[in-house]
Amino acid sequence: MLVVATSGKTRGGITSVIHALKTCDVWKAYHCRWIETHIDRSAGKKLWRFFISLIQFTFLIPFYDLVHIYLATPPSTYRKYPFFRLAKLLRKKVIVHLHIGNQIEAVWDNLYVKFFTRADVVLVLSHVTERVVKKLLNGKAANVKVLYNPTVSAPGTAKVSRQPYILFAGTLDRNKGFRDLIRSFAKIANDHPAWKIVFAGNGEIDEGKQLAKELGVDAQTVFLGWVGGEAKDKLFKEASVFCLPSYAEGFPMAVLDAWAYGLPVITTPAGGLPDVLDDGKNALVFQPGDTAHLSRCLERLISDDELRGAISGESLKLSQTVFNIDHINKQLADIYKELLQQ
């Protein structure tokens, strides 16, 4: 099978998921090969990467029966269309895997219709997205299935004591709501001088530092930039709370990471999260942009050790059941097998 997606060196949910699947039986069983169509470099290098990947795909496609194409925003979709057209022209089985969620309505493009109605299977990240896609297709034929992203982190067994900080992991931009977290924390920071918020991710770091300074919480706000490997592992192990105040998501890998580490999560019902969120039981949930509610959520988890422990236990349950990578591996293998037997 040929897997058509962004480069393995880029950051984001698609890359994380594919790297995780490469460790599974399904990758070897179906002789998967990753065709990398995009790279986070200059415009010239992006164009060069695209043409090289198209040439690779053209030479390899006659020897493969199945193509798995990962899509996200419209630029990604337009970039993948030549691969899709060639695969269909050669009568290959094609899976289209959509990696955006509640933002799909805002960016809907007729090209999505061409992909979804002609693909053999359309995979989406949640039942929420499934309903939205079917509504936008307005009855046009499409075989839409839900496949959750797996938890991909593998925490070590060493015991590390939790530290008094709230962790945010992701790109620092408006969509991720990182400013909302700073504003919300500022409302309660004086009551909890030992606590901090720690931001792990690239993006608008200077703007974040300026906002924290204006609100008087710069001494309790840490910006680390992008973090990976052992440093990321240590951050998640030592955090006491995880918060992702996003406005739009597919199914956020950062929340899946937090669940894998048993962190109590505060988040919004963005993307596919409403499939599993149970406010007060496995997370604390607030609406995007509601900083007053977010402040109350932060206050609750900071002040209540018992609540943190209870939600932490539910986080681990989610990572070990619904989002367990072996479970996702089996589901994907079943989809591949069914397609190839048609």
Q: Is residue 158 part of a domain?
A: no
Phi, psi of 131 (to 5 degrees): -65, -40
Q: Tell me the pLDDT band of 154, cut-offs 50, 70 and 90.
A: low
The beta strands (E) that lie in the chain are given as: 2-5, 33-36, 66-71, 93-98, 121-124, 144-146, 165-169, 196-200, 221-225, 241-244, 265-267, 284-285
Residues 144 and 8 in one domain: yes
Residues 313 and 328 in one domain: no
Phi, psi of 258 (to 5 degrees): -60, -45
Read off the pLDDT of residues 282-312 as tens digits, 9 standing for 90 and up.
999 999 999 999 999 999 999 999 999 999 9
Residues 213 and 290 in one domain: yes
pLDDT higher than 70, residue 83: yes
Residue 157: per-residue pLDDT: 46
pLDDT higher than 80, residue 106: yes
Q: How far apart, in Å, are the Cα atoms of 50 and each of 23, 72, 89? A: 26, 16, 20
Q: Is residue 159 part of a domain?
A: no
Tokens 């990753």 belong to which residue? 34
Q: Is residue 55 part of a domain?
A: yes
Residues 310 and 171 in one domain: yes
The proportion of the chain whose per-residue pLDDT surpasses 70, expressed as a percent, equals 98
3-state DSSP assignment of residue 187: coil
Residues 79 and 174 in one domain: no
DSSP 203-238: BSHHHHHHHHHHTT-GGGEEEEES--HHHHHHHHHH
Dihedral angle of Cα 261, 262, 264, 267, to the nearest 10 degrees: 50
Residues 275 and 330 in one domain: no
Q: What is the mean pLDDT of residues 127-134?
A: 94
CATH code at 101?
A: 3.40.50.2000
pLDDT higher than 50, residue 184: yes
Q: Is residue 181 part of a domain?
A: yes
Q: Which residue has the higher pLDDT, 199 or 250?
A: 199
Read off the pLDDT of residues 18-49 as tens digits, 9 standing for 90 and up.
999 999 999 999 999 999 999 988 989 999 99
Residues 111 and 173 in one domain: no
Burial of 12 (0-12, 13-18, 19+ CB in 10 A): middle
Q: Is residue 58 part of a domain?
A: yes
Residues 144 and 47 in one domain: yes
- Three-state DSSP string of 254-280: HHHHHHHCCCCEEECCCCCHHHCCCEC
3-state DSSP assignment of residue 251: coil
Residue 151: per-residue pLDDT: 87
Residues 145 and 14 in one domain: yes
Strands 121-124, 241-244: pairing is unpaired
Cβ–Cβ < 8 Å for 324, 151:
yes
Residues 337 and 310 in one domain: no
Residues 303 and 330 in one domain: no
Domain range spanning residue 109? 2-150+324-341
Q: Is residue 188 part of a domain?
A: yes
Q: Is residue 155 part of a domain?
A: no
Residues 309 and 224 in one domain: yes
3-state DSSP assignment of residue 198: strand
Tokens coding 225: 């930039």
Mean pLDDT of all residues in the chain?
94
Read off the pLDDT of residues 203-250 as tens digits, 9 standing for 90 and up.
999 999 999 999 999 999 999 999 988 899 999 999 999 999 999 999
| Structural domains in the chain (count) | 2
What b/e string do you get for 220-236 counting C-beta neighbours within 10 Å, with b at 16 or more?
Answer: bbebbeebeeeebbebb
